[in-house]
Chain A
């Protein structure tokens, strides 16, 4: 018999998640650890953004975690039937914190899409935002402007009212060191025209 337990409640991460938890390269999804060489199976890209709250005020020390598929749309995880094909050098996870300007940066590979019972998923990155004043973690999904046809069919992007969809498609914002930079700003709270569409799952 399995016993049934109730999940522990969430609480805010608060303002003091230690800086000392972070190591160089924690915001780099392309490497499984600091010493490991970055995966090169795909296009290396940079994600830049800013986290703001009501009124557009920057959030200091918001903690962001990113999770995504590899360039082939696979996950190194037992619930991916194609795990054996997943890129062993790609971690797909990263964490960072925002500075006084609310700014953050991730380095990753352009993810691949994949087929799912819910529909074909366009390439995307799931972001978790935590911070002072957020009693529960906030969930966002980042899409890319490179894939208009896949985005139009994505079952998650389609949940968003059409007028707000552009908020969660990152914008190409030039190059840095030969890498394409995508910009994805996160407005935690605002009117429907301002606030980033967030999810629950």
Chain B
């Protein structure tokens, strides 16, 4: 299978994140942020070729053929609210990022991850692994069929809860645009209490991580639908002529 997408010239200008967008640490109630986050000042390195480039053909290494998390095998459907999640990967110029590798992972409907580290006393779903990987198309689109994840308590002293959320990992054509983020569901009161979402100082930045629900008719019967665009760092120093 060699359907090499004609990738555009990737962005070559990377401004620092504007204020308010990046999470502030340490996060109260999240002890690992106090013990893991570097304490010494970060050194701002010049952007040379290693920083501005990245793997172009990563889909050859990472199979990008897993878009249905809800159906493990014929007849083996995960428990939970069947959900269709789609959107676009864009750069800061609003240009679609084509051929980006998009990874999604999440807890099951009971709020438990299929991972040996998650030993919480909540049921595992034998029909749900909870991870998928696709490659964006010509318009930068991705789409997954999944189930809506459950909320879960964070196992620390003075427990707090994570609202339902989905993890995204996006590998675009530049190391500088590598992004790992999370997506939240609209209208959930727990979003406003979430310590991780609230580590973003700018309310608008928090809002940009909350998906928008779309009319189920758009995906036919059986699925509720959410749309969520993700913007990677980077713009083009020389914009294309209009």
Contacts and interface: CB of A to CB of B under 8 A. Distances in A.
Interface of A: 1-21, 23, 26, 31-34, 36, 53-55, 57, 59-61, 65, 67-69, 75-80, 91-93, 114, 116-119, 121, 124, 126, 128, 130-139, 141, 155-156, 159-160, 188-192, 195-201
B10 to A, nearest CB: 7
B209 interface: yes
Given A11-B196, A77-B53, A80-B53, A130 B32 contact: no
Nearest to A55: B35
A78 B52 CA distance: 10
Given A10-B22, A10-B23, A200 B52 contact: no
Contact of B43 (A10, A91, A128, A160): A160
A179 B230 CA distance: 42
A133 to B, nearest CB: 3
Contact of A201 (B44, B90, B114, B182): B44
B67 to A, nearest CB: 14
B179 A10 contact: yes
B42 A200 contact: yes
Contacts of A117: 48
A114 B39 CA distance: 32
- If over half of B's interface residues share one DSSP class (helix, strand or loop), that class is named, otherwise mixed; here it is loop
Interface string B191-232: 000001001100011101100000000000000000000111
Contacts of A21: 62, 103, 105, 131, 133
Contacts of B37: 133-135, 188-189
B35 A133 contact: yes
B122 interface: no
